[in-house]
Each structure stands twice: as structure tokens, then as C-alpha cells.
Amino acid sequence: DQLGPTVCVGEILVEIVATTVGNGFMEAQPLVGPFASGAPAIFISQCGRLGGSAAMIGAVGTDDFGRVNLERLKGDGVDISAISIDPDYPTGSAFVRYREDGSRDFVYNIATSAAARFGWSEGVSNLIDRAGHLHVMGSALSVSSACEVIDKAVDIVKTRGGTLSVDPNIRKELKLDEATERRFARLVAVADLLLPSGEELERAAGVEGETNAIRRLFEIGVKEIVLKRGADGATYYSREGERIDAPAFIVAEIDPTGAGDCFGGAYLTCRRLGMPAADALTYAAAAGARNVTVVGPMEGAGTREQLDAFIATTERRS
């Protein structure tokens, strides 16, 4: 952490959630929100809440949805100096409704919102010049302004001895254009920490099978991998061949959105604060599990004290 803050780049949104289960938004219905959201914002919120030095790059509009996010992140201790405020476009938003089978219907406004309208500014440059770690979400790679920032930031942070983590966050079926695919492969190759979930592991490695994928990723240059498996827990792999399985905590899942982002933010922050992998995994599993017990994508992100209490009182799967 001495080297400087953990920085995350990407979409900042509000999420508005249907309070009933069903299909889509074709009839008037009860909703709850706005909740602060966006995968990169959830990640950095969890970093800040755990007491890590954290900063966010992105954009919001001059509206209440933007203020909800700015106040939330500031309250979590996140440096918001490199979040720009767009005078012309509204803050990004996502309406979400869970279906009976657990899948979700969305109405997004991201590409044509402030969320996609930021770039390499003086504030961003000042932040990156003192950053110790950069976290990249695969989902941010579909936003061209985010790519411009990420490309420059990776070089600067790495050159000054900082580190990079990548959450692929790209579904296996999703075809990216050639330039994005190349950018993604380059990011994976220089990642100090890779945080894939399920099949994203094979997607990032470009080979089938967990063992093959892990081997391939270490060959490419990845330093450390933590594979997320939802309610089945998570597994840490080191280049030296060490494996640590972290069983999930047993909770009632109310809202699964944001589990992976809280898990990743907690794991990374604990590692940067000097914790061994096994302890960081426990906090990460607790952060992911605690977040799914609360409605809202980052409402359940815990502080160190809250996670300690959660760990002390919650059973784990065997």
C-alpha cells in the first residue's frame, strides 16, 4: 500500500431493482432504488470500506443519481478526485428484475450516459502518477474511453513498480472485436492477480479444463489466480503450485449482484495490506457472502469490523 492507492476504472451507475420476481418491465410495478452500482464502483467501494487506500476513475452526470454515487464512494473513503462530472449527459443506470429461474432482465443506459464519457484528463493523470495498483474489469473494455485510460494507466503503473489485477467479467459466449480481444489478452498476460469466475477462467486462458487453463495462464505470465465459484466457494492458485480452497459461508441469498466485485475488492485490499493468501481468501469469501444477503449491488459491502463479526458468527460449507 506504501506505493499508492488501488485505482479502478470504469462504469459508475445507479441500479433500480424490481421488488417482485417476474419477466421484465412491460407493466407498472414496484421498484426500489437508486442504489450506487457499476462493477468497478462496487469493487472500489469494498476496497475503501476495508480500509485500503482506494481511488476511482469514471464519470457521472450533474444529477441525483451521480450524487448518490459520489457520496457513497466518498463515505467509503474512496478518492473521487478523478471522477469527472459530465454537464450534458445523465448518470448511467440499470433497471433490473429477477426472473423466476434466477436469470435477470435489464434495461440499461450506459453507452449513451455519462458513465461512458470520460478520458485521460489532468485529474486522471495526477492520480495514475501516484497509483500503486490498477484493477481492470473486463466489462469496462467495451467502453472506448475507458480503454484509452486503461492502456495508458497499465504502462505507467507497471513501469513504476505497481501491480495489476484483472477480473475478466466476460461471459464465455461473448465475442469481442479483434482489437478488444487483443487488449484483453495483453492485460491477462501482465496481470499480477487474475480473478475469474466460473468459465471466465477458460475464456481468459483460451483452453478447456480448469487444470489446463491454470497451467496456461501461469505460462503466459499471470502471477496469482483466485477462481470464484459462487455458493461453491473459491480457490487460490499460486505459480509455485500451491492451492487453497475457500469454502463459502452459508447465507440466504437475497440479491447475488456484486458478490464477485466485493470478493475481489476484499481479496486485493487484504493482500495489499500484507495479509497471506489464506487470510485474504477468508475476508474475500465473507465479503462476497455478506453482500448477497442485502438488496442493492454494493449495500452489503462490509467494513473490517463487520466482516470480522460476520466471520465469527457464520458457518461455512464443508
Given the rule CB under 6 A, which residues bind ligand ATP? 197, 228-231, 233-234, 248-249, 251, 253, 256-261, 263, 285, 288-289, 292
Minimum gap (Å) between residue 203 Cβ and Mg ion: 11
d(CA 84, CA 56): 10
Question: H or E stretch including 247?
Answer: none
Given the complex with ligand ATP, which of 56 and 286 has the nearer CB atom? 286
Q: Is residue 260 a contact residue for Mg ion (CB under 5 A)?
A: yes
Q: Which of 45, 197, 269, 291 binds Mg ion (CB under 5 A)?
A: 197
Q: Which amino acid is at 150?
A: I
Q: Are 194 and 168 in contact (CB under 8 A)?
A: yes
Minimum gap (Å) between residue 79 Cβ and ligand ATP: 23
CA dihedral defined by 271, 272, 273, 274, rounded to 10 degrees?
Answer: 60
220 binds, among ligand ATP, Mg ion, none (CB under 5 to 8 A by kind): none
Name which of 224, 215, 207, 208 is nearest 264 in CA terms.
Answer: 224
Given the complex with ligand ATP, which of 128 and 280 has the nearer CB atom? 280
249 binds, among ligand ATP, Mg ion, none (CB under 5 to 8 A by kind): ligand ATP
Minimum gap (Å) between residue 302 Cβ and ligand ATP: 12
Minimum gap (Å) between residue 299 Cβ and ligand ATP: 13
Helix H segments across the chain? 39-49, 64-75, 122-128, 144-159, 178-189, 200-205, 210-220, 259-272, 277-291, 304-313
d(CA 13, CA 108): 10
Q: Which stretch binds Mg ion (CB under 5 A): 206-214, 255-263, 273-281, 297-305?
A: 255-263
Q: Which stretch binds Mg ion (CB under 5 A): 75-83, 126-134, 193-201, 308-316?
A: 193-201
